Chains A and B, each alone.
Chain A
Amino acid sequence: MDLRLKAVQLFHSILAKAGRGGSLPGSLALKMDPSFIQKFHMPDQVVLVTGTNGKTTTSNLIAESLRESGKKVLNNRRGDNLNVGIATLLAAGSDSSYHVLADACVIEVDELTLYRQFENLHPTHLVITNFFRDQLDRAGEMETIIRKIQEVTKDFTGHIILNGDDPNSLRIADTATKAKIHLFSVGRNSVSQDTTDEASEGKFCPRCGHPLKYEYYQYSHIGRFHCEKDGFGTIEPDVYVSDCDYENGTFTAEGRKYHSFINSIYAIYNCASVITLMKSMHLDPSAADHVFETFEMKEGRNEVFHFSCDSIINLVKNPTGTNEVLKAILSSDEEKNVCILLNDNDQDGHDVSWIWDAHFERLDVPEVKHIICSGLRAYDMALRLKYEGLEDRITVIEDVQKAIEWLDEAQMKSYVIATYTALHSTRAIMRKQEKKHI
């Protein structure tokens, strides 16, 4: 028995009983022992999930699907994906001598934490969702992240599940020569386009620098591509998704029909990665279908509050995620107000220039009646919209409480977009506002 571990576990269970989660126990553990994470005896199957967008959703889908297949699974379902969160997870899920009590661990790992902890976590499977331009000052350039992940996977002999339609992810297959690579790809469907104004990274072949040729784009730079010079991107996917039906929320993979938890292309990619992983583990992927069908997104992902009219909040972190949220907001032609909460705390990224890479100009449609800019950098957001010619429709209300009240009083359907550190406080305000109507 290890007393330090015991203390951390006790600390965690006290916090849990008080209804508090969080990474404090792991933080304490790592302060007492920087090599804390290395000490654990991991189960036979350890799945690490990383990438820019969709990590939390994908890792939860995987954990639930493995449970559906009869496995006892330990996972960080709330997305505490840094060292301290992972340390907390392992402490809470093991016995007093560092043995993790599960058949499988599914761990969402921050892209930057991955290269530091990769070997310590003894992964058997690595799932990469995608790589996009993220908060640059926090994450460094995407290029650096990819290179670091290439470094730690070059001698990896386990399984790597990659998005074959993402040129940035596919680069890992070029360098992880000892690993077993499994690719997924999604066929042309009703959202696919021949050209795009969204792609920012991945325009050029990583091998030779020649421009990549796309047969179609799904969103951002995700799509079917290849290099005409050296064939990069010409793939034979292990799992190929076809017949995406956004009206009925279904798609087909491996000759079987699946249900998607929301009708969006990125959700289908999340599901495709899960099916590919299941296949690589020799599990029946049909167990995942029940999970896909009933899965509920985490708090702050398309979460509805009932004001005088419905108000729907979504988290945004980077241009690609924002573009997808904007598409969802604009998919119906009813009249609506929009509220954008832009913060620049540590977890949001201090550099707010990413808002200029997101397609906020798409809000310039007659159905969008008013746009409230709020949060610590409300005026930066207002300027972003002003220079798209939306000047007459923007109002700055720096105080979030007042911004939410404004939406309710306007008696119109509304959409709230919030960066990370604004999300939970805003949800609390929206919950209170909702209670006024009960």
Chain B
Amino acid sequence: MVDVKINLIVIIFLCLLLITYFFYLLKNKKLYISIFFRTILFLILIILMLKVSYKVLTINKKFDVIFLIDNSYSMTFNQRLSKVNTFLEKNFKQIEKKANVKYFVFNDDAQKIEKNVKIEVTKKNTNIKKSIENILFQNKNVDVIILFTDGNDIYEKYPDFTGYKTVVYPINFNENNFKDVAIKDLRYSTLGFKGTNYELTCVILNYGYDNKNILVTIADEKEVLDTKRINLKSGKNEVKLNFVPKDVGKKRYYVKIEHLLGEVSYENNKKYFELEVIKDKIRILYICGEPSTEYYFLRSMLKNEPNFDLVSFVILRNNDSQIIVPDEDLSLIPFPIHDIFVKELNNYDLLLLENFSYKKFSIPVQYLENIKRYVSTGGGFIMIGGKNSFSLGGYKNTPIEDILPVEIYENEEFVKQDFVPKVNDYFDPLLKIYDNLKHNESILKNIPSLKNYNKVGYKQGSKVIFWHPVDKLGQNYVPISSYWKFDKGRVFTISSGNTWKWVLENMLSKNYDFKNMYVQFWKNVIYWCGGITEIKNIRILFDKENIVVDDNIKIRIVMSGKHTIEPELYVTYPDLTKVRLNIKKISLQEYVCEMNFMSKGRYAFTAFYNENNVVYRDDKIVYVRENIFDEIVNLKINEDYLNKIANITGGMVINYDNFELEEIIDHTRKNKGKEYSLNYEIYNNFLVGIVFMLIFISEIFFMRKFR
């Protein structure tokens, strides 16, 4: 195309020179040459101003055709790729005569291949959009793409053909008797509870086995956990499976459907999933000293969380409140002090006190001793600030003071102030909002403000989550939120009872989801205090969940606090070989290494360090699966996709048995008609500018010479 343009302009320029020479030979040279040059200059200016272009029809041009062949894993079924190989072998010479042909294979991207090469299947997924777009980018003038694919593209996106005149003709393999059942999807929660019924929904795709009864089974490595028989209907079928997890920990299970005679593949009849089994629901007892917005928000969050079993009491009326209606007109219930603090306390995993003063209700100090004993033996305890919390609630010199992770003072202040809490440690497990550490740090750096706080002090041995940004008590800043382990129990405090502001101020945030941050923060706190999660000094984190073969994953080791001791990281591969991985130091708390998961199976990771003769460690198990499962879920030819891709470009789906290249070329020529032409934009050619300049200079030269 470019050659044609240049030649044309060069020819015009040479003609002009020739005419100039002719005029030069004439007698009244000056006048003629002058008129001639100026006319030419004027014409060029007109061309430039009107943006003149012209079209050349290329009806008889030999077509550029690309044969694009899908060699992803799904093409192995029903001998699809063998059919393509046979076809090319048979028609190779005929095709070569009729068009300029190139051959490409594609899976997750396209790759050029030589003529007459036998195409092998790969264990990769299909990305039709990316492959076609890359081919078009490299072959801008391709007229036709003959597409051999089953359309099983997990992304199911259409290529962008804007600016291209290429017509796509997908080939349909004619699989009229296609028969297969497959597990399309498993819908499940990644968290289950020991001893509590766990339900999972299995979505099954059926082609060709209508009204057939099949067995669906859920099992772990040892035993079958549940079996259901269902009668298949055409297309999607759903079946619910139930079992009761017996042990806590991360476990791998699978769902399997019965093999049926004549199925295209059995590979999609089984699917694995992982489940974290924890002990049954966390039972929370929440006592709030007065109705408050903090109670409203926190209660809503706890109630909406299926893993929490909440019993709460709010003191709606004080002893000195006036009574203006008879008791039967009020919905109040007596506050069961004895039941709560003596009889029932041990039935809860966690006791939460918000702005609650025991003195107001004449609760004996012995009951507080019960709380201390409850925490010592493994219970969780949370205190939320307010004018009736900490020392202001009368807890100074009581057993509660001993269990709190903060120092409390007789003359405690309740400070009226808005402030943005300062994060002590961005890697603190209770502050884990996102798996991605950068995202996590980013949201915490922009945390909305809190309001009002009890001025408590730092207690040796506690871990501080938030400090007050400026207010100090002694040498330390005022701790706003702290936690620690007291004997076997866990205690958490937050001296500002206004964390609800994080949720409501989410309405002002465009970049961060503070509502989610609030929920995640409190869930972390409840899980830890409730004894579900263990806070470790060292943790192994992966940049991605659901790792598949060939994934290159960053593995991070995050240590709590700053250490000079370097941790060690080991991996045990599926073949049971154990290797130490090289880790790179990012900071005093974080180390990272990259690892390629080359094969499927179980990978066991162990990270540890030794400090003062104490070994801190974390273990993680990762199950890596084949990348191809998504590709083979639905093996039926995706005719809708093939039709749409043909329609977008003006092509059509061609039957495998009726393939004729000549017909395809004719169809393209007929459909594209006059539009199928090359457009030359004269005004846009820099040579026109050069010609203009040369004539302009020549005109000046001649005028001076014949003056």
* A and B part of one assembly: no
Interface on B for A, CB 8 Å cutoff?
A: none
Interface on A for B, CB 8 Å cutoff?
A: none
